[in-house]
């Protein structure tokens, strides 16, 4: 959540104060219950199967960087995971806002079949303890550690049965807490659960996936001989960008009538397998992908995001690693347009597809550290301005004789331009 602060109450509990404008009401969260309820607003979605850490800075307790990671299924991995997440959050915070004064930890996992929430809390206790020790080794205490499971929460730090009973405490009903009121006042919203957001980006399945994989095989068989026959990388890149623009235009002219999965089904139906396959393979080129990243704002952003999501869903079977490119572009557009929660999820999935995908690594780190994306937007705008005049000059050379250019001028057969004049004024 933006503009939040955390501080310690006299009892030692963390508290959160959304600070907004100077006249905004100050709201303090003093209990594990209020912290648990605030978590979806901190992230922008309901975390599922997630380890979440939030840095706390200063006496006023300003909330800083946050980190979310899927909970490793193998307990043998917990020691290394604890050290990694502690170092990542603390060192990242040091680079941006100084060393944190504390950390709040959340472990969120739904019960397995036949398992109770209390059993989940007990099973994850060693992981919480390892993270507390790893943070302590870096001289940053864990102020509160909560387990959230099955609609209840438990504190790993509070031994008082009066406020933290062994059977756990029931979470507040959605939308009824102080955090919910503060988020509504600030115009913030929860975008569903982590699982729901990830589902919009995951590969298609069944017969459709098999058809798509065959299309990808065919596209790869067509592209490789072209490269070997001398087709240049720039020519293939130009074709890829032209196809992407065509598909974005198609999506723009056919907006979905509903959101969520229904909108995804609509977009999937608008793209042919062969078109998607050609575009997926073309985006594996770094320079082509960087040009596509320029569609990050204004009217281009919405159709670009729809296209990148659809392409990510088409990276099926043996082509799962190819999803890193469209997922990274989806994450970038989301971040550029202010949807940081979705951006983090998309970029995390990109790194799951290809852990070494450098563009995703850099964006994921920058987004998590709260860096303003405007710096990258400015670089991409400048690159586009540098390249677009060259593209326009090329278009002018290939324009049919007598065709008007965008400025309303007409070229004669000798290439000379005749200015239009209306009422004695140039246009």
H-only helix segments in 138-205:
178-186, 194-199
The residues, any chain, with a CB within 8 Å of residue 357's CB and separated by 6 or more, are: 324, 325, 328, 350, 351
* Digitized pLDDT (tens) for each residue of the chain, 427 residues in all: 333 333 333 333 333 333 333 333 445 556 677 788 778 877 888 888 899 999 988 876 677 888 888 999 999 999 999 999 999 999 888 887 789 999 999 999 999 899 999 999 999 999 999 999 999 999 999 999 999 999 999 999 988 777 788 888 888 766 656 666 666 656 666 777 888 899 999 999 999 999 999 999 999 999 878 877 766 788 899 999 999 999 999 999 999 987 777 899 999 999 999 999 999 999 999 999 999 999 999 889 999 999 999 999 999 999 999 999 999 999 999 999 988 889 999 999 999 999 999 999 999 988 877 789 999 999 999 999 998 765 554 444 344 444 444 444 443 433 333 333 333 333 3
Query: Residue 4's pLDDT is what?
Result: 33
Closest CA relative to residue 336, chosen from 282, 284, 298, 392: 298
Gap between the Cα atoms of 182 and 193, Å rounded: 20
Contact by Cβ (8 Å): 347, 363: yes
Mean pLDDT for the chain? Answer: 82
Other Cβ atoms closer than 10 A to 361: 16
> Which pairing describes strands 142-149 and 102-108: parallel, antiparallel, or unpaired?
parallel
Gap between the Cα atoms of 210 and 207, Å rounded: 5
Query: Residue 94's pLDDT is what?
Result: 86
Gap between the Cα atoms of 295 and 377, Å rounded: 10
Q: Does the CA dihedral 17-18-23-25 come out positive or negative? A: negative
Gap between the Cα atoms of 354 and 365, Å rounded: 15
pLDDT in tens, 294-304: 999 988 999 99
Gap between the Cα atoms of 66 and 210, Å rounded: 39
Contact by Cβ (8 Å): 279, 242: no
225 burial type by CB count under 10 A (0-12 exposed, 13-18 middle, 19+ buried): exposed
pLDDT in tens, 373-412: 999 999 999 999 998 765 554 444 344 444 444 444 443 4
248 burial type by CB count under 10 A (0-12 exposed, 13-18 middle, 19+ buried): buried
Gap between the Cα atoms of 58 and 122, Å rounded: 32
């Amino acid at each position: 959540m933006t503009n939040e602060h955390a501080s310690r109450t006299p009892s030692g509990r963390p508290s959160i104060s959304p600070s907004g404008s100077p006249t905004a009401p100050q709201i303090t969260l003093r209990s594990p219950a209020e912290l648990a309820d605030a978590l979806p607003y901190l992230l922008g979605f309901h975390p599922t199967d997630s380890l979440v850490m939030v840095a706390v800075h200063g006496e006023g307790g300003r909330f800083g960087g946050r980190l979310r990671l899927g909970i490793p299924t193998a307990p043998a991995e917990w020691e290394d995971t604890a050290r990694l997440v502690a170092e990542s959050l603390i060192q990242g915070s040091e680079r941006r806002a100084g060393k944190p004064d504390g950390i709040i930890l959340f472990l969120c996992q739904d019960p397995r079949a036949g398992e109770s929430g209390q059993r989940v809390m007990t099973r994850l206790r060693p992981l919480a303890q390892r993270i507390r020790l790893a943070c302590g080794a870096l001289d940053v205490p864990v102020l509160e550690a909560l387990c959230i499971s099955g609609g209840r929460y438990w504190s790993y730090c509070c031994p008082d049965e009066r406020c933290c009973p062994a059977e756990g405490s029931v979470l507040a009903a959605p939308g009824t807490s102080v955090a919910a009121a503060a988020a509504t006042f600030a115009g913030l919203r929860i975008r569903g659960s982590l699982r729901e957001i990830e589902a919009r980006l995951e590969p298609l399945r069944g017969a459709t996936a098999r058809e798509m994989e065959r299309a990808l095989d065919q596209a790869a068989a067509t592209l490789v001989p072209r490269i070997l026959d001398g087709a240049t990388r720039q020519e293939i890149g130009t074709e890829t960008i032209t196809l992407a623009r065509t598909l974005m235009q198609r999506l723009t002219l056919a907006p979905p009538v509903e959101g969520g999965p229904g909108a995804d089904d609509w977009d999937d139906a608008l793209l042919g397998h062969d078109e998607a396959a050609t575009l997926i393979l073309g985006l594996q080129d770094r320079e082509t992908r960087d040009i596509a990243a320029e569609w990050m704002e204004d009217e281009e952003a919405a159709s670009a995001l729809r296209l990148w999501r659809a392409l990510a869903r088409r990276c099926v079977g043996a082509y799962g690693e190819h999803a890193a490119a469209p997922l990274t572009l989806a994450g970038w557009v989301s971040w550029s347009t202010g949807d940081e929660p979705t951006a983090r999820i998309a970029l995390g999935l990109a790194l799951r597809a290809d852990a070494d995908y450098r563009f995703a690594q850099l964006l994921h780190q920058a987004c998590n550290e709260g860096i303003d994306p405007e710096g990258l937007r400015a670089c991409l705008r400048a690159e586009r301005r540098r390249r677009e005049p060259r593209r326009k000059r090329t278009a002018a050379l290939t324009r049919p004789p007598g065709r008007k250019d965008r400025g309303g001028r007409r070229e004669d057969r000798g290439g000379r331009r005749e200015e239009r004049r209306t009422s004695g004024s140039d246009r």
